[in-house]
Amino acid sequence: MSLNDALEDVSEFHIAIGAAVTLYPRMLEADSSRAEQVAQAVRACCVLCRNLINHGDDLFARAAMELEEMAEWLEAHAQRDLEAAADAWGDRLYVLLGDAVAAGLPADKIFGEVHRSNMTKVPHLRAKDGKAIKGDAFRRPYLDGPGNLGAPVFSQEELEAASKKRRPWRVRIYQPVLVLDEQSTATQEDDTFNLPLAQIADELVVAEEERLAASQVLFKVAGNFLVTPRGDWPLPTRSIDIFECPESLVTHLKAVSLMHFNYMLETPLQSWLIAVEQYEPGSSDGQVA
């Protein structure tokens, strides 16, 4: 079942009970001050869950994530920010699906049974709080039968195949640097670039700031920036960054796996080397597959 299929099923249920179905993105109606007040209460619950997290208590850890995303959803409505609301909704959905992954739940089968059950509720009638009403025709979801909760979601072979197929991609970005004698001074000039070393140092600082910003824009990745020397390149370089790469960019980046990127500064110090590689998750040394 695709996400669009699920949306169509929920739309069918909303139409059946007279709940809202909207064709274009909009903010849900709410008093902004009250939305902010509820968001603060949800964040307080989030803090409580985080304080209860001990080693192995993934229930409270996941509950804290869900509460945080719900608070952001409420805050977006308090600020009437449609883009923030869409982002918060997407995060809520992702965390909810993560619950199914973490708990080994067959999400598609559970959703199908819940939808079947919901469609037996009283049509065109809702309680004051907006919830559908269970009448005589209501039938509970059948979740404990064969193939539902009594069987594993994936076979071991499927898990191994998926793990190999979905092995993450990683991007390494390197920058050529000058190899200077320890006795070098800030006024000494390099023969290659003919720039004062003090200026070179300033350029390197600016370059890293530019690269951090650019990587987040181009690759939609934030955090986990590593600066570690690497000795496996034919020219002196320093590793500016190592981070995971969205799969949609893999084909493009493989085609330019050794390419120079210029980030606005005009000196040769702004030449970047980029390498895209597939690696084994959990490997401490980043072993390339």
Mind listing the pLDDT tens digit for each residue in 91-138?
999 999 999 888 888 888 888 888 888 888 767 666 666 677 676 777
Mind listing the pLDDT tens digit for each residue in 170-207?
444 444 333 333 343 433 333 343 434 334 444 444 45
Mind listing the pLDDT tens digit for each residue in 42-91?
999 999 988 888 766 789 989 999 999 999 999 999 999 999 999 999 99
- The highest-confidence range among 106-110, 133-137, 140-144, 263-267, by mean pLDDT, is 106-110
Query: DSSP assignment, residue 55?
Result: T
Query: DSSP assignment, residue 136?
Result: T
Q: Could you tell me the CA-to-CA distances from 109 to 4, 119, 198, 222 in Å, in that order?
A: 16, 16, 64, 35
Query: DSSP assignment, residue 249?
Result: G
Sign of the torsion angle spanned by Cα atoms 252, 255, 258, 263: negative
Q: Give CA angle at 88 (32, 10), nearest 5°.
A: 95
pLDDT at 74: 96
HEC sequence for 141-170: CCCCCCCCCCCCCCCHHHHHHHHHHCCCEE
- Can you state the angle between helices 3-17 and 107-118, rounded to 10 degrees? 20
Q: Which helix (H) or strand (E) holds 54?
A: none
Cβ-based neighbour number of residue 224 at 10 Å: 9
Rounded CA-CA distance 88/74 in Å is 9
Average pLDDT over residues 206-225: 43
Bridge-partner residues for 189, per DSSP? Answer: 196
